[in-house]
Chain A
């Protein structure tokens, strides 16, 4: 499988990364280099192998369903690039 320019543009859009048109050929070549190298995995017989999702052998713990923090509005907002009172502010999204 190899990426064409249109796919690189689409993936960049999915990833919310602005890519200048002039950079697309370089990115396409780099990504295809990496994906071509990754292709060797297709040689491994994985018939019936359960995919390993996590990093540890242990099952995830359940925890009690209760509130463990809160009341830290100022801390939550402290690093906001823009805020309006007690809210994060963003450009207008509805007309």
Chain B
């Protein structure tokens, strides 16, 4: 039979149900793979082998009793931004380096309810701020893919770089992640796996370390579109503990994956043909259009005129919310403390020692744009442009059922590239960021390789709370692309 780490979640569920493999064996295979590869990839900040073994034993017992939940025995990586009761949760920051939450996030609680096994906590950019997973206080994570004939360490993308690297390298069957400006979709594309940021409000934010609360949304990373749908089905759902959680029914996402695209109208936004778009990515985008047309979809040329203002809008809204959210790290109630001469000095020294450079930059920008005299010129202006970006999409939905774009402007880059200029790094999110500002679902699906053998993704955007259509289009792309390339670094098959 297939090596356990090569299974899909759907395949593992069948194998577990048929008792071809035990949850204990499946979990151990992943723990062995982590022991072998994590020292190199640094995809996990914390590995929890004893906890995973205990959860796997529970899953085996539930399977034996015939009472197994939909994810019984499925080993997952949990982005280290989700609070896990009794397991250290760092947000990739020194300031939370020893933080052990006394409570469980709603999303991880839902996964545990359904029988999942947690292998450990996945690496990320500090406080989920970044596109390369190089800002983690626990060291950079490495992309398991390599350029042909070149051993340069490439970034896995970010902020959910550890989640995507772990799934790509077969160190987990799937992972939780979060996406504030592209932090699920960009790393998924860089690592040749799938990931979906659902509609704002679909997954509860309770217990997820906050970055920018009006943009943050949890979602899964996995190796197939169907596996993403299975995971999202467990993660999603109304939660009274998050005031922005949407009280809407969770449909059978997995059933939508095979639905096909016949009769669907797919929008192609002309503003996404940005200056400097790599010819390879442009060609892949055209290939994606051909695939969907061949499957019976109609392509519609659309305009989203405010697209070019999305990144600067984001870099006002997100830092403003971040500066507010991160005010709680004061060295008093939890987290790192650096003593000072008085309370203000204690705050200032604690925060200077606890936060990394990118987090400090965003706190400073956010504080500035919210400060007296600048609030209207920056923050209110950005909120107004955000409304226009959302209106662009609202108008597009009158013409189309989903939108197809590239996921990223380039393939994965080297660890030392793009580090000198913060704005150059921000441009990574040019295609993904609009979905966060508008609150709509977006999915990245691996669709091809560039000339150097690195994976490239296509992105599908959908109407609010219509993840089913996104999954249907994503499934069609996955079937047409037949993406079976494998990363250079992965658990022995």
Contacts and interface: CB of A to CB of B under 8 A. Distances in A.
A binds B: yes
Contact of B333 (A3, A39, A88): A88
A71 interface: no
Contacts of A44: 306, 309, 381, 384-385, 388
B343 A91 contact: yes
A81 B246 contact: no
Contacts of A63: 240, 243
Given A1-B374, A15-B363, A55 B215 contact: yes
Interface string B333-376: 11111011111111111011001000011011111100100100
A11 B363 CA distance: 9
Nearest to A12: B364
A44 B342 CA distance: 45
A17 B349 CA distance: 7
Contacts of A38: 312, 315-316, 378
A86 interface: no
B422 A49 contact: no
B368 A31 contact: yes
List the 9 shortest-distance A-B pairs measured between CB atoms, nearest first.
A51-B383, A79-B334, A81-B337, A46-B384, A18-B348, A55-B214, A75-B102, A18-B352, A52-B387
Interface string B95-136: 000111011000000000000000000000000000000000
Contacts of B335: 79, 81
Nearest to B313: A41
A73 B215 CA distance: 32
Given A34-B423, A51-B386, A76-B102, 15 more contacts: A1-B374, A3-B368, A17-B351, A17-B352, A18-B351, A35-B365, A41-B309, A41-B381, A41-B382, A49-B384, A53-B214, A56-B200, A58-B246, A60-B244, A72-B102
A4 interface: no
A6 B401 CA distance: 51
A3 B371 CA distance: 13
Interface residues of B, number: 76
Contacts of A78: 100, 102
Contacts of B337: 81-82
A55 to B, nearest CB: 4
A75 B247 CA distance: 30
A89 to B, nearest CB: 8
Contacts of B342: 91-93
Given A54-B244, A79-B100, A80-B333, A34 B385 contact: no
B315 A14 contact: no
Contact of A14 (B246, B247, B367): B367
Contacts of A79: 98-100, 102, 333-335
B249 interface: no
A49 B388 contact: yes
A54 B355 CA distance: 26
B421 interface: yes
A90 B330 CA distance: 11
A56 B423 contact: no
A30 B306 CA distance: 26
Interface string B155-197: 0000000000000000000000000000000000000000000
Nearest to B390: A52
Interface in A10-49: 11-19, 27, 30-31, 33-35, 37-42, 44, 46, 49
A61 B351 CA distance: 34
A51 B384 contact: yes
